[in-house]
Structure 1
Amino acid sequence: MTGSDDIYDVAVIGGGPAGATAAHDLARRGVRVALVDRAGRIKPCGGAIPPRLIRDFDIPDHLIVARITSARMVSPRDRRVDMPIDNGFVGMVDREHFDEWLRERAAGAGARRITGSCERLSRDPQGVVTLHLGGRDADEGAALRARIAIVADGARSAIAREEIPQNGDPRCVFAYHEIVRPPAPGDGDYDRSRCDVYYNGALSPDFYAWVFPHGETCSIGVGSARKGVSLRGSIRALRASAGLDRGETLRREGAPIPLKSLKRWDNGRDLVLAGDAAGIVAPASGEGIYYAMLGGRLAADAAFEALRTGDARALAQARKRFMKAHGRIFWILGIMQYFWYGSDRRRERFVSICGDRDVQRLTWEAYMNKELGRPRPLAHARIFFKDLAHLFGVVSP
């Protein structure tokens, strides 16, 4: 597929994992695609990628800066529960380098990279989409035209709100992290092969805080949807308690993270959402890289089909396919977040449950492979009744 000299088949707005994946997949299929992205933007992120992502998206080893073999859950009362990974690992990436590699891969496949931001969209009499560009790196009045737009420019995308107003203004967690040089191995409790997750209302009243290794650096972060919460103050307290307050701070970043998938991802004629713009971040965990890249791939598939057939209804397939594969687990995680993050008493019990081996095995199976494991009636029944017992205080945390 090729457009005319001045019309692209697809314009992708946003060059994070979702947008870069969409541009790469389309370019590989011979689609004439432009990738528009602002320079210098790095999203705050723990950086965890599961084996499923590494396999499905051909991620090379050099981008994996750490291999995590366990997670430690820390309760409000400082109870520490380790969750080892049996026969596997979680890869860690630094978004500064990972996202740029994805953009360069898209360019290598034939996508045209354009540095700038999309200020607004309009249509010409023939219905072709015009992207009006701005920002310090775009020429005054610059524009490009495309038959279809994929919008992947973040959780509070103004274009997504304008083009699909029925979604409203999505509720978000605001995440903040600091990239820090950690202590040398053996100095203190920091472990370069372990992710630490803190469930503590003093750090976040409605989400969690984290310390995630990135090889020679680490991400120390926190999120909350509550107004008035001092995320920087929480990070100062966490760094002091974790013995990470003396490390050099290399970067500080903050951004909103959506809490729920949007009800509609397309406008019915020439536009489809992907990544945070579509709201596809896992509830409870806040995990987004895998889901962003999958969403970008599904948006690319939908755009390709719409171009091939001339039927804009194909754009709706991106959300349908995603929710068929992951809607159930998102529903379960949403319930978990609602119940377990509501108070420190419940967080204490949640961390206690994480010590159960049945819970650990099923959790890692679902996370590593991005699907609910084979039915195990006895294990699921045990977890169900243990969950109820902890929720209603029948057992001590």
Structure 2
Amino acid sequence: MTDKIYDAVVVGGGPAGSTAATELALEGHSVLLMERGGRIKPCGGAVPPRLLEDFDIPQSLLVAKARCARMIAPSGRAVDMPVGETGYVGMVDREDFDEWLRERAVECGAERLTATFEKIERDDEAHPLVAFRRERGGPIETVRARMIIGADGARSAVAKHALPNAERVKCVFAYHEIIASPKEAGDVFDPDRCDVFYQGKLSPDFYAWVFPHGDTASVGVGSANKGFSLRGAVSEMRSELDLTRCETIRREGAPIPLKPLKRWDNGADVIVAGDAAGIVAPASGEGIYYAMVGGRYSAQAASEALKTGEAKALKNARKRFMKDHGRVFWILGMMQYFWYSSDKRRERFVDMCDDKDVQQLTWQAYMHKKLVRKKPLAHLKIFLKDTAHLLGLRPANSEVRSQEKVA
């Protein structure tokens, strides 16, 4: 394939890579989408309604619509956060969702290749070579590209070859099991509810979850603690929730980055997107929407660089993303740092989720992917409550109930 020069080779066919390939193909560029195949990222599969609107995703790809989130504290106390009459959390199965995105990229004009990226090579020619193998142990082949987009996940091999210190990005390790949904819905499992467990025994620094996927469900956990057993935590959770009786369909694990990389491009002909750029929301771990936004921004920056010959245009991708979403990421990062550090704080965090103002603004921010500015007094009210909980000046509702019983 060395004779052909592509405008762009996109490495990775997840939401970020497929979106980038689609955007570039629609702009008239020749695009090769390189996906190694056979890998499904561990993911709860939650997507906001805005994703469907922004990226023209059909409702048919949703396998479920969650109308409520249940937050479970270390004590076992559960707080339900209803989304509201018109809202929902869309749920997708990554196996089908990612494949649909890849096929759309092909329909828009991208070529698709099942292969594993090996390295970036440079010779006397103006443009780099992308080295790959079609199968494990097979011969190394190369293709030349004017631009390379790395969308090959956390610990990206493309980023490692092109960006300084990219391999040092801190990650949460996620593991989940896709199971057949219980035939009878009850209080333990509800097909219309996402359950989030803030319990140190299940995750010392993140959270565990049970997310409905229609006929299946995702039962998973994340942690940056390398000595913590993710499989053990999922096994314990399934046992406590009586989900061991449900068939296990598949098991998946992968690292998830904790913060955006400080640099997304090499200043010449390589740019990264999605998990490879580190854009997964702290605290929540939400990545699909942000991956697709990042894929779009990186593709637009790459397209501008290709058309103008000005490599400095590549910097616009990160600048635009941080302008639009950097403040939310910073707030979520602070929230994870403070509230996930101990069971005592997790208990207070779940208690805070029982507040109607917190619920309303949380869902509005999730649905629209921006901070709501229309209610400054509500934000002030939440800030004061948050500070009181953090400093222990406001007793948790569970503590109040215990005091009332004693009285």
Would you call these one fold, judging by a TM-score over 0.5?
yes
Quote the residue 1:290 is aligned against: 289
Query: Whole-Å Cα distance in 1 between the matches of residues 165 and 65 of structure 2?
Result: 42
* SS of equivalent residue, structure 2 residue 394: coil
Quote the residue 1:50 is aligned against: 48
Query: Whole-Å Cα distance in 2 between the matches of residues 181 and 166 of structure 1?
Result: 41
- AA at the equivalent of 1:83: M
Contact 2:37 2:114 in 1 (8 A): yes
Residue 140 of structure 1: how far off its partner (Å): 1.3
Quote the residue 1:19 is aligned against: 17
Structure 2 unaligned segments of length 5 or more: list them: 397-407
Query: Whole-Å Cα distance in 1 between the matches of residues 252 and 263 of structure 2?
Result: 29
Contact 1:69 1:89 in 2 (8 A): yes
Alignment: residue pair count = 394
Query: Whole-Å Cα distance in 2 between the matches of residues 222 and 167 of structure 1?
Result: 25
Where do residues 134-213 of structure 1 align in structure 2 (5 Å cutoff)? 134-136=133-135, 140-187=139-186, 189-213=188-212
User: 1:252-304 deviations in whole A, cap 9, x for unaligned?
Assistant: 00000000100000000000010000000000000000000000000100010
User: 1:134-154 deviations in whole A, cap 9, x for unaligned?
Assistant: 251795121111100000001
Quote the residue 1:96 is aligned against: 95
Contact 1:176 1:255 in 2 (8 A): yes
Contact 2:156 2:167 in 1 (8 A): no
Quote the residue 1:245 is aligned against: 244
Residue 243 of structure 1: how far off its partner (Å): 2.1
Quote the residue 1:357 is aligned against: 356
Contact 1:115 1:137 in 2 (8 A): no
User: 1:87-112 deviations in whole A, cap 9, x for unaligned?
Assistant: 21111000011001100110111100
Quote the residue 1:81 is aligned against: 79
* SS of equivalent residue, structure 1 residue 263: coil
Quote the residue 1:112 is aligned against: 111
User: 1:369-393 deviations in whole A, cap 9, x for unaligned?
Assistant: 1011123121011101110111111
Quote the residue 1:370 is aligned against: 369
Query: Whole-Å Cα distance in 2 between the matches of residues 164 and 218 of structure 1?
Result: 37
Query: Whole-Å Cα distance in 1 between the matches of residues 9 and 185 of structure 2?
Result: 49
- AA at the equivalent of 1:6: K
Q: Which moved more, 1:328-337 or 1:151-160?
A: 151-160
User: 1:318-377 deviations in whole A, cap 9, x for unaligned?
Assistant: 000000000000000000000000000000000000000000011001111101112312
Query: Whole-Å Cα distance in 1 between the matches of residues 353 and 144 of structure 2?
Result: 51
- AA at the equivalent of 2:132: L
- AA at the equivalent of 1:340: W
Quote the residue 2:37 is aligned against: 39
Contact 2:283 2:333 in 1 (8 A): yes
Quote the residue 1:226 is aligned against: 225
Query: Whole-Å Cα distance in 1 between the matches of residues 75 and 46 of structure 2?
Result: 26
Residue 217 of structure 1: how far off its partner (Å): 0.1
Contact 1:211 1:219 in 2 (8 A): yes
Q: Which moved more, 1:256-265 or 1:233-242?
A: 233-242
Contact 1:176 1:232 in 2 (8 A): yes
Describe the shift of the 1:5–1:141 C-alpha distance in structure 2 as closer, same or farther (beyond 3 A). Answer: closer
Quote the residue 1:301 is aligned against: 300
Q: Which moved more, 1:233-242 or 1:122-131?
A: 122-131
Residue 240 of structure 1: how far off its partner (Å): 1.4
Q: Which moved more, 1:158-167 or 1:16-25?
A: 158-167
- AA at the equivalent of 1:156: R
Query: Whole-Å Cα distance in 1 between the matches of residues 110 and 167 of structure 2?
Result: 32
Query: Whole-Å Cα distance in 2 between the matches of residues 33 and 67 of structure 1?
Result: 34
Query: Whole-Å Cα distance in 2 between the matches of residues 320 and 345 of structure 1?
Result: 37
* SS of equivalent residue, structure 1 residue 379: helix
Residue 165 of structure 1: how far off its partner (Å): 1.2
Contact 2:180 2:247 in 1 (8 A): yes
- AA at the equivalent of 2:200: G
* SS of equivalent residue, structure 1 residue 363: helix
Structure 2 counterpart of 1:71, from 60, 69, 73: 69
Query: Whole-Å Cα distance in 2 between the matches of residues 59 and 255 of structure 1?
Result: 25
Q: Which moved more, 1:80-89 or 1:118-127?
A: 118-127
Query: Sequence identity of aligned pairs in percent?
Result: 61
RMSD value, Cα: 1.3
Quote the residue 2:59 is aligned against: 61
- AA at the equivalent of 1:365: Q
Residue 81 of structure 1: how far off its partner (Å): 0.2
* SS of equivalent residue, structure 2 residue 168: coil
Residue 5 of structure 1: how far off its partner (Å): 6.4
- AA at the equivalent of 1:10: A
**How does the TM-score come out when normalised to structure 1?**
0.97
**How does the TM-score come out when normalised to structure 2?**
0.95
